[in-house]
Amino acid sequence: MVHNGQPIAVEATGEKMLVELYRRFAGDYPKFFKMDTLSRLGFIAAEILLKEPIPSDRASRQRIANSQKPTAIILANRSASIKNDTDYMATISDGKYYPSPALFVYTLPNIVTGEIAIRHQMQGETSFYILDKPEDLEPILLSTFHTASADRKNIQPSTSALAGWCECSDANTFYAKIQIIWNN
Amino acid sequence: MEQLIEQLKAQIIEALNFEDMTPADIDTDAPLFGEGLGLDSIDALELIMLMDREYGIKLADPKAGKAIFQSVRTMAEYIQANRTK
């Protein structure tokens, strides 16, 4: 666990690690406990990342202050929402057909972007991509800051984006690396 | 009835994934929705599933849910009167 190059010690392992980090870095958002593991992972990563004002230089801070344009949220991973999909499937198997609505609402990976947007009131575009590797996200991020394509010409380009890799393949295997990128 | 209320609280905590909550944290007579536990429509569906799964109760009339889910006590009273298992 690293934030801005500084390691953060955690005692718990697996999914419990996210609960420990929630209590340490948030603690005021009970909806966290309703989220699936992927959403918890993205939520906690964003909480830690956004704890401090991100830009360190005056020009960036001024650009934010003057900007009415929204911040985008663009995440990607390789396994989509497979962990939650599996959990949901377990509720409709073995002859006990009691599908869980609370699990069902998280059977899409892009829900995590919505959870972050709601929490931090980010009103820019949100999107979630299923990619082979984190490097594949780079050209997508570049397009976020342009208005060249026809379907985007009436949309204000974002001035910044919370972006990165947010991967969860099972309860004990997850990884997130997110950052704020700016349109210079 | 008191035993059913305590059991129901534990089942609600498990169904809704309130993992840092204990049955003692839930006020038996507090509203389940809005104030109190602050549940939402998805949680309401979970409670309907819980009543079916644990007590064999199928809610045929969705409008009846408003009265049944007022509080843990009203849920327990309905379960006691209508349970099939």
User: ipTM surpassing 0.85, yes or no?
Assistant: no
Nearest to B47 by CA among B78, B19, B3: B78
Q: Does B52 touch chain A (CB under 8 A)?
A: yes
User: In chain B, what are the domains?
Assistant: 2-82 (1.10.1200.10)
Q: For chain B, give percent helix, strand, coil, nearest 5.
A: 60, 0, 40
Determine phi and psi for A35, rounding to 5 degrees: -75, 155
Give yes or no for a contact between A102 and B43, defined as CB atoms under 8 angstroms apart.
yes
Q: Between A12 and B18, whose confidence is greater?
A: A12
Q: In chain B, which residues have their Cβ closer than 8 Å to the Cβ of A19?
A: 19-20
- If you average pLDDT over residues A5-16, what whole number do you get? 87
Tokens linked to A104 = 């069902």
The partner residue sitting opposite B16, judged by closest CB among A34, A96, A99, is A34
Give pLDDT tens digits for A1-10: 787 778 888 8
pTM of the model: 0.82
Show residues of chain A in contact with B47, CB under 8 Å: none
Which residue did the predictor score with more confidence, A6 or A70?
A6
Which domains are present in chain A? 2-182 (3.40.47.10)
Angle at B41 between CA B36 and CA B45, to 5 degrees: 105
The residue behind tokens 């809005």 is B34
- The pairing of strands A173-182 and A160-170 is antiparallel
For residues A21 and A44, the answer to whether their CB atoms sit within 8 Å is: yes
Q: Which tokens is B10 given?
A: 């534990």
Print the SS3 string covering B15-54: HHCCCCCCHHHCCCCCCCECCCCCECHHHHHHHHHHHHHH
Q: How far is A26 from chain B (nearest CA, A)?
A: 14
